[in-house]
Amino acid sequence: MIGTIQIEGPASLPYEEDLGVFPITDWYYGAADEIQRSLIPPPGAAPPSDNVLFNGSHVNSNGGGSYYRVKLKPNKRHRLRIINPSVENIFTVSLVGHQFTVIATDFVPVNAFTTDSLLVGIGQRYDVTIDASQAVGNYWFNITFPPSGVCGTSRTSFPAAIFSYEGAPVANPTNKGVAPPDNFCHDITQFSPVVTRTAPQASFTATPAHDIDVALDSHDWEGQTRVFWKVKGHDMNITWDEPTLEYVAKGITTFPDRYNVLNIPENNQVRPPPPRAFSTRD
């Protein structure tokens, strides 16, 4: 089971209606160990998701389920908190006939910018505003998997939710919109935070001992070829009944190599100043 927590924080633009959290996640019918052992032949690409859920809801291939519906108030600006808690799927999201104005990413308020679509990575969060300035009706909120396939795939043919204006009839939209361009999973990096935080470079001392080697490797595991991410020569392997925090609780400061715990020297740490008061007028 998963759930969401709405944390009230600053925004770089005012808004009138808060639509709350909007988690979008991949969904698999098989058990985790069953899916893991199906990752063959090499290189062990992740299988397509069986469905995509919008706040826990969607239709399925057997005709069951229902589209998740969000209500918009005409001529109001709405805040939507998009979250991707998926296992394997990266989503490109868009709302037919509307634009998103990004006001925060991963809890950091950013100078607002407007876009037709957003790539939302696994674990990523975007706060956007949506101006309900179109004709009263029903509009598809689409998930698009780029043709390149590098962002993941799903067996559901048309993952979508429905955004309906108040006063619109209860019906499915008719305009499916235009698929966003394939950006090959390239994330947006040109964010400009409202409050800039910098770490003075002179406070850090770079040495070869601080380098972290990261590599992708494949080798035999239980008679099958598997793909492993290695950090400093070790793929992570945690003993579930004795995780990292259990070591800390016991006062043990020496960890197995395959736990991939990195110690940061005290003189290479920078602590931010206390937060200042912030409002949409800043």
- Token code pair at residue 82: 């998009």
Using DSSP, state whether 247 is helix, strand or coil. helix
What average pLDDT does this structure show over 256-271? 76
Q: Would you say 138 and 72 are in contact if contact means Cβ atoms under 8 Å apart? A: no
More confident residue, 239 or 104: 104
- Token code pair at residue 159: 């993952």
More confident residue, 273 or 86: 86
CA distance 235 to 257: 9
pLDDT(9) > 90: no
CA distance 221 to 226: 6
Question: Tens digit of pLDDT for each residue in 63-97?
Answer: 899 999 999 999 999 999 999 999 889 999 999 99
Beta-carbon neighbour count of residue 209 at 10 Å?
6
Kind and range of the H or E element at 162? Answer: strand 160-165
pLDDT attached to residue 131: 98
CA 173 to chain centre: 26
Q: Tokens 């893991």 label which residue?
A: 36
pLDDT attached to residue 40: 53
Domain ranges of the chain: 17-165, 201-268
Kind and range of the H or E element at 51? Answer: strand 51-54
pLDDT attached to residue 118: 95
pLDDT mean across residues, the chain: 87
Using pLDDT thresholds of 50, 70 and 90, give the confidence band for residue 275: low
Q: Tokens 């909007």 label which residue?
A: 22
pLDDT attached to residue 167: 97
More confident residue, 171 or 45: 171
More confident residue, 258 or 226: 258
Question: Tens digit of pLDDT for each residue in 91-125?
Answer: 999 999 999 999 999 989 999 999 999 999 999 99
More confident residue, 11 or 134: 134
CA distance 48 to 65: 20
What average pLDDT does this structure show over 205-217? 81
Q: Report the range of poorest mean pLDDT among 45-54, 169-178, 237-246.
A: 237-246
Residues 6+ positions from 110 with CB-CB distance below 8 Å:
12, 102, 103, 104, 191, 192, 193, 194
Q: Which CATH superfamily is domain 17-165 in?
A: Cupredoxins -  blue copper proteins (2.60.40.420)
pLDDT attached to residue 274: 66
